[in-house]
């Protein structure tokens, strides 16, 4: 066993069974991965299993490392805290990598100042400030502030502007138009101005309806006293607040303060959306992308996302809705409660929950939909980046040992339903972009398995390749063959990609050998492990998880799969055998019996329910169902 694992594997008796944090290091001492465990011995033994049994990404991390070390702590909660600290400090490449290069805008009210100011900022280090957000658009928050100043006329000017007005004894334009109470010239005292700022903060924190009701009451009182000027001013203030409220639509009851996190992920990346709900309204939205290096499932991904979301100065609310609960939920809740105390001095527990019904579940579904869209947008933009595409093609050329970059690649996938309705797809990528006008579909009448289907598909496709249809340097112009063959189908690819591992690659290689084609390169991409297999190779090519090359391979594979599934479903709808087998009580033997007795699909469709019922083993009720289904 020891010969089939890494040389630095510690003896089992040397590893403690207490909770702790472990670190894998490379030969230069750089930390590659940080993890935590309730039982260090049990967790680390998973990494030192025989290498062939390990997940490919785990195997790559273990073989890249040169040593492992651990630190024992007193509890799982302490392990969680230490793991978080070291991930932030060392940024290990095999831990989840966050691509959140944005600094999101916040609305800040500097309540710690002598004369508080409302401002839009991207930093959260102002002492004594109260923050609201984050928001996705600066213009949206500025518009909100502009409306709010009509109702809460507090200072929004810079310190230099405030001092200049104070020295000159004249307020700035905002003071003249009623969007500032002008404490700089003594129109209100500093205490009165601070009260306005506190009301502003209270409104933003969720006390919406109370202020609208208060302004309405004061407006009615002023009107009754015939103080129409004050009534008109209060009316305008109420209108401004109602406009702000209309831009933040009510989704939950006024007492709900919650963060809702949605995650959409695949083998390489995950998109995260965080909706900040305060006072029943969506106060802010934040989104970021995660690169997945190791094979991280959704519960573990949730844990990393929470550490990233609340690892800075962001205050966790008392309740957070997540798509799945991590294994160490109770320890995470304790850590989040500690972060809540550190950021705002608020006591109380933080609860992690999965919303299963009601308004919260509905909103969680909306957040997840936004995450799915963000993941799709991330992939689309990454695919459209010319520099990234060029790098991807260069990396593929180097990884596969090709003499030139693969300007034209064709990817193949097979789809079937329990061995029936076998179809295959061919998708084409030129210069790293899909050429949908050149996609092809194949029907396979009979096959023993997927490898045989791949072989048949490649034989049929390669038979159409013309020696005269060659790839130009720009991959834009095609030289048409002289035999009249469709020039696009005759266009010679640089690289063939099949969906699958070594067996599928070997089947495709057999088709190439039999046709005597030696100048077209071939590889396969295995699902889940994302390995690249070459013909006659015992080991796969491993591309970095966050590389543009692997991203391009994955996109081709997914596109070929989508195209094959679409065609297979279309054929199912037209196939009488599939229609019959979908009827409860009609299995494969009865389908064969029906087609044998009537001789053809046309005669079976023309038969009455009584004629169908005469077949042995089919009663009147089932015959009526078959008759009705064939006519739908």
Give the span between the Cα atoms of 59 and 47, in whole angstroms.
8
| Secondary-structure class of domain 2-95 per CATH | alpha beta
Which is nearest to 98 in space by CA: 374, 289, 372?
A: 289
Give the span between the Cα atoms of 470 and 445, in whole angstroms.
31
Give the span between the Cα atoms of 150 and 167, in whole angstroms.
25
Strand 521-525 versus strand 495-499 pairing type = parallel
What fold characterizes domain 575-631? Answer: DNA polymerase; domain 1 (1.10.150)
124 or 200, higher pLDDT? 200
Structure tokens at 457: 């598909």
Give the span between the Cα atoms of 317 and 405, in whole angstroms.
51
Give the span between the Cα atoms of 276 and 285, in whole angstroms.
6
Give the span between the Cα atoms of 485 and 465, in whole angstroms.
9
Q: Is the dihedral of CA 190, 194, 195, 199 positive or negative?
A: positive
**Integer CA distances (angstroms), 11 to 2, 34, 173, 178, in order:** 10, 20, 75, 75
Residue 302 has pLDDT above 70, yes or no: yes
Give the span between the Cα atoms of 591 and 588, in whole angstroms.
5
User: Residue 243: CB partners within 8 Å, gap ≥ 6?
Assistant: 147
Q: Read off the pTM.
A: 0.49
Angle subtended by helix axes 298-309 and 329-344, to nearest 10: 10
Contact 34, 61 (CB under 8 A): no
pLDDT tens digits, residue range 574-623?
555 555 656 676 766 777 777 677 666 567 777 787 887 777 778 788 87
Range in 7-11, 187-191, 230-234 with the lowest mean pLDDT: 230-234
pLDDT number for residue 208: 57
pLDDT number for residue 478: 34
Sheet holding 106-109, edge to edge: 118-121, 106-109, 130-132
pLDDT number for residue 600: 60
pLDDT number for residue 463: 81
Beta bridge partners of 117: 155
254: pLDDT confidence band, cut at 50, 70 and 90? low
Which is nearest to 131 in space by CA: 156, 102, 105, 106?
A: 106
pLDDT tens digits, residue range 99-127?
554 556 778 899 888 899 998 887 777 88
Structure tokens at 535: 């013909």
Beta bridge partners of 541: 532
- Matching fold, domains 2-95 and 386-573: no
What fold characterizes domain 258-381? Answer: Nucleotidyltransferase; domain 5 (3.30.420)
pLDDT tens digits, residue range 82-103?
888 788 778 888 887 665 545 5
Structure tokens at 625: 């169902």
Structure tokens at 391: 């790098």
pLDDT number for residue 472: 39
Which residue in the block uniquely carries the two structure tokens 């949605």? Answer: 262
| Domain spans, the chain | 2-95, 106-206, 258-381, 386-573, 575-631
Alpha carbons within 13 angstroms on the beta-carbon side of residue 274 total 25
Contact 156, 145 (CB under 8 A): yes
Which residue in the block uniquely carries the two structure tokens 């996109």? Answer: 555
For the segment 156-185, the average pLDDT, to the nearest whole number, is: 87
Give the span between the Cα atoms of 568 and 415, in whole angstroms.
6
3 or 155, higher pLDDT? 155
H/E run at residue 410: strand 408-417
Rounded to the nearest integer, the mean pLDDT of the chain is 79
Contact 308, 316 (CB under 8 A): no
pLDDT number for residue 354: 93
pLDDT number for residue 260: 92
For the segment 377-397, the average pLDDT, to the nearest whole number, is: 80
What fold characterizes domain 386-573? Answer: Nucleotidyltransferase; domain 5 (3.30.420)
């Amino acid at each position: 066993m020891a010969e089939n694992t890494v040389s630095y594997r510690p003896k089992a008796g040397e590893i403690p069974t207490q909770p702790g944090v472990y670190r894998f290091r490379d030969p230069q001492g750089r930390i590659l991965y940080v993890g935590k465990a309730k039982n260090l011995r049990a967790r680390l033994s998973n990494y030192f299993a025989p290498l062939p049994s390990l997940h490919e990404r785990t195997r790559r991390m273990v073989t890249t490392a040169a040593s492992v070390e651990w630190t024992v702590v007193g509890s799982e909660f302490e392990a969680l805290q230490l793991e978080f600290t070291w991930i932030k400090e060392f940024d290990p490449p095999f831990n989840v990598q966050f691509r959140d290069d944005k600094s999101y805008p916040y609305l800040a009210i500097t309540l710690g100042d002598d004369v508080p100011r409302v401002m839009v900022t991207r930093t959260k280090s102002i002492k004594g400030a109260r923050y609201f957000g984050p928001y996705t658009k600066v213009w949206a928050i500025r518009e909100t502030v502009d409306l709010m100043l009509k109702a809460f006329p507090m200072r929004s000017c810079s310190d230099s502007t405030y001092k200049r007005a104070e020295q000159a004894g004249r307020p700035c334009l905002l003071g003249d138009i009623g969007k500032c109470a002008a404490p700089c010239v003594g129109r209100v005292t500093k205490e009165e101005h601070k009260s306005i700022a506190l009301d502003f903060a209270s409104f933003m924190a969720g006390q919406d309806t109370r202020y609208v009701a208060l302004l309405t009451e004061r407006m009615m009182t002023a009107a009754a006293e015939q103080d129409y000027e004050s009534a008109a001013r209060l009316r305008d203030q109420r209108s401004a607040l109602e406009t702000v409220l209309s831009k933040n639509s009510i989704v939950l009851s006024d007492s709900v303060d919650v963060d809702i996190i949605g995650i959409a992920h695949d083998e390489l990346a995950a998109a995260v959306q965080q909706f900040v709900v305060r006072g029943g309204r969506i106060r802010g939205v934040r989104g970021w992308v995660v690169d997945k290096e190791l094979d991280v499932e959704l519960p573990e991904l949730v844990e990393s996302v929470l550490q990233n979301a609340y690892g800075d100065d962001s205050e966790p609310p008392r309740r957070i809705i997540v798509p799945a609960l991590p294994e160490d939920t109770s320890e995470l809740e304790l850590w989040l409660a500690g972060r809540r105390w550190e950021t705002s001095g608020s006591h109380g527990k933080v609860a992690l929950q999965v919303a299963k019904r009601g308004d919260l579940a509905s909103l969680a579904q909306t957040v997840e939909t936004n995450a799915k869209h963000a993941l799709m947008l991330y992939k689309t933009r990454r695919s459209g980046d010319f520099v990234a595409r060029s790098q991807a093609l260069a990396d593929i050329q180097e990884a596969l040992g090709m003499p030139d970059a693969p300007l034209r690649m064709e990817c193949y996938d097979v789809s079937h339903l329990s061995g029936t309705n076998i179809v295959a797809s061919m998708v084409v990528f030129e210069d790293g972009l899909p050429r949908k006008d050149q996609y092809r579909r194949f029907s396979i009448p009979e096959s023993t398995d997927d490898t045989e289907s791949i072989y048949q598909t490649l034989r049929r496709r390669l038979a159409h390749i013309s020696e005269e249809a060659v790839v130009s340097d720009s991959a834009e112009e095609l030289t048409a063959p002289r035999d009249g063959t469709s020039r696009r189908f005759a266009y010679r690819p640089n690289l063939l990609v099949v969906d699958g591992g070594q067996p599928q690659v070997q089947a495709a290689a057999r088709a190439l050998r039999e046709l005597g084609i030696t100048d077209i390169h071939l590889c396969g991409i295995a699902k889940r492990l994302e390995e690249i297999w070459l013909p006659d190779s015992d080991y796969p090519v491993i591309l970095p998880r966050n590389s543009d090359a692997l991203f391009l391979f994955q996109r081709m594979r997914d596109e070929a799969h989508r195209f094959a599934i679409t065609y297979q479903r279309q054929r199912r709808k037209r196939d009488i055998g599939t229609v019959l087998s979908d009827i409860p009580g009609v299995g494969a033997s009865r389908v064969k019996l029906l087609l044998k007795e009537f001789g053809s699909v046309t005669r079976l469709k023309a038969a009455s329910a009584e004629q169908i019922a005469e077949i042995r083993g089919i009663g009147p009720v089932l015959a009526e169902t078959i008759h009705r289904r064939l006519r739908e």
